[in-house]
């Protein structure tokens, strides 16, 4: 089968969407399917050596429309049209509803190619924090939310099949007015997460200056991720425990302000920032193995890849009752109300104090993560493709 993926974001930019596409493409290529990923170039980022069999990345010149986002635009869509036509895909599947997603809609309709769209992002009240940060004006929130929903209804209503990685997201989209059926397909977990660490726990802790117990957080450091609340919850924990470090992996626009917060709270040496670490390097770094559990207070997650990575590594999860986290955190962790730093600090204390309970949660994380394997998700995706092609009469 020839499969064309379209996404405004892909490696070397590390996002949940780019990681999802990379994981499933690698598995599809391993099975002999021919995959082309049409995406924009990222000249500001270092190149990545990623070339699985039967998978080709086609990068297109572009300019950034909104700073610090993957919203980009190209002026060479005519040449892109010819490049896609040469490939002659059996299925077109877009992952971002912006410029390349819209291009894929027009191409699919013109060539009568089956069209699949995956909805990765919360578009209504769930992403109010993101919209507030973007607009800096609470009165614009309802207007922008309405525009966002209207545009996305137009995009996804034109697909032959719509997919979403979270059942809660499906409920939100239906309540927001998306009229056509949306099928459930989780994001595939990264295969490299099975890699054995290249250093012992003691070596890792010494290298990063970590204390006996470690809470880890991985992700983009931007305001909507609410890492500041995570630090404040850790501050409360630190008042009763001195043997714990908070390890924050990632980089982003909020890092400088978070480092100031750490200094203000006198947590230097207790909160450790590593900066950005590539996913394949992370899985071999031993940082997950050196940690007791993963924590996040973000309220805008759909199905966060970093949580799946932590689950595969056998870490319990401490999170908030919001978005797709409610589907990932069950018997494998503790979930607290959004923005409640007191409850999160209590969760930290409970997980650190109950060794047997934490071991049970860790085992549950590993068992639950098997459902999200790339092989299992690819089976379901191929089934969706074949069913769609059969209904469309495309052999």
pTM of this prediction? 0.85
Share of the chain above pLDDT 90, in %: 64
Asked whether residue 175 carries a pLDDT value surpassing 70, the answer given is: yes
Task: State whether 203 and 278 are in the same domain.
Answer: yes
pLDDT class for 194, splitting at 50, 70, 90?
very low
pLDDT digits (tens, 9 = 90+) for 223-260: 989 999 999 999 999 999 999 999 999 998 899 999 99
Q: How confident is the model at residue 350 (pLDDT cuts 50, 70, 90)?
A: very high
The pLDDT value given to residue 123: 52
pLDDT above 70 for 122? no
Q: Are residues 279 and 151 in the same domain?
A: no
Residue 63 confidence (pLDDT): 77
* 321 and 307 together in one domain: yes
**281 in the same domain as 176:** no
Question: Do 164 and 289 share a domain, yes or no?
Answer: no
The string of pLDDT tens digits covering residues 302-325 is 888 899 989 999 999 999 999 889
- Alpha-carbon torsion, ordered 49, 55, 58, 59, to 10 deg: -30
367 shares a domain with 307: yes
Interval 353-367 mean pLDDT: 97
Buried/exposed code over 90-124 (b: 16+ C-beta within 10 A; e: otherwise): bbbbbbbbbbbbbbbbebbeeeebbbbbbbbbbbb
Domain count, the chain: 2
Q: Mark whether 300 and 273 lie in a shared domain.
A: yes
Domain that holds residue 75: 2-188+373-392
The DSSP bridge partners found for residue 319 are 335
The string of DSSP codes covering 157-183 is TT-SEEEES-HHHHHHHHHTT--S-EE
Shared domain for 301 and 337, answered yes or no, is yes
Residues whose CB is less than 8 angstroms from the CB of residue 291 and which lie 6 or more positions away in sequence, other chains included: 214, 215, 216, 247, 315
pLDDT exceeds cutoff 80 at 4: yes
- Residue 18 burial by CB count (10 A; 0-12/13-18/19+): exposed, middle or buried? buried
- Same domain? 238 vs 257: yes
CB atoms within 10 A of CB 49: 7
Confidence bin at 195 (pLDDT 50/70/90): very low
Mean pLDDT of 147-152: 74
* 21 touches 51 (CB < 8 A): no
Report the pLDDT value the prediction gives residue 67, as an integer from 0 to 100. 58
Residues 163-173, mean pLDDT to the nearest whole number: 88
Residues 56 and 204 in one domain: no
> 173 with 246, same domain?
no
pLDDT band with cut points at 50, 70 and 90 for residue 125: low
Do 64 and 151 fall within a single domain? yes
State the pLDDT at residue 137. 57
pLDDT (tens digit per residue) in 262-280 = 999 999 999 999 998 877 7
CATH number assigned to the domain comprising residue 258: 3.40.50.2000
What are 63-120's pLDDT values in tens digits? 776 655 556 677 778 999 999 999 999 999 999 998 899 999 999 999 999 999 999 8
Q: Is the pLDDT of residue 294 over 90?
A: yes
Task: Give the residue-averaged pLDDT of 23-38.
Answer: 97
């Amino acid at each position: 089968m020839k499969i064309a993926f379209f996404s405004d974001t892909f490696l070397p930019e590390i996002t949940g969407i780019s990681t999802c596409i990379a994981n499933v493409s690698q598995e599809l290529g391993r099975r002999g399917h021919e995959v082309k990923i049409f995406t924009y170039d990222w000249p500001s980022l270092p190149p990545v050596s990623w070339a699985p069999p039967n998978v080709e990345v086609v990068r297109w010149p572009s300019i950034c429309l909104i700073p610090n986002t993957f919203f980009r635009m190209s002026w060479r869509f005519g040449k892109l049209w010819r490049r896609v036509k040469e490939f002659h895909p059996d299925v077109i599947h877009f992952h971002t509803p912006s410029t390349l997603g819209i291009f894929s809609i027009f191409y699919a309709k013109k060539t009568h190619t089956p069209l699949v769209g995956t909805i990765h992002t919360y578009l209504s009240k769930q992403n109010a924090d993101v919209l507030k940060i973007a607009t800096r004006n609470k009165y614009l929130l309802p207007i922008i939310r309405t525009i966002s929903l209207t545009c996305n209804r137009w995009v996804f209503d034109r697909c032959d099949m719509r997919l979403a990685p979270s059942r809660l997201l499906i409920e939100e989209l239906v309540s927001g007015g998306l009229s056509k059926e949306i099928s459930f397909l989780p994001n595939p977990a990264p295969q490299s997460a099975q890699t054995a660490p290249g250093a012992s726990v003691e070596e890792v802790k010494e290298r990063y200056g970590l204390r006996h117990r470690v809470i880890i957080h991985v992700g983009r450091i931007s305001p909507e991720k609410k890492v500041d609340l995570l630090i404040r919850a850790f501050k409360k924990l630190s008042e009763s425990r001195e043997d714990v470090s908070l390890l924050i992996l990632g980089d982003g626009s909020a890092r400088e302000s978070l480092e100031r917060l750490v200094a203000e709270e006198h947590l230097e040496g207790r909160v450790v920032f590593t900066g950005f670490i590539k996913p394949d390097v992370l899985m071999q770094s031993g940082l997950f193995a050196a940690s007791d559990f993963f924590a996040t207070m973000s309220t805008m997650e759909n199905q966060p890849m970093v949580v799946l990575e932590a689950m595969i590594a056998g870490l319990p999860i401490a999170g908030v009752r919001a978005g797709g986290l409610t589907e990932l955190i069950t018997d494998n962790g503790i979930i607290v109300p959004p923005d409640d730093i007191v409850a999160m600090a209590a969760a930290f204390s409970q997980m650190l104090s109950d060794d047997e309970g934490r071991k049970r949660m860790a085992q549950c994380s590993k068992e639950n993560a098997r459902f999200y394997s790339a092989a299992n998700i690819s089976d379901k995706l191929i089934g969706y493709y074949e069913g769609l092609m059969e209904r469309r009469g495309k052999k």
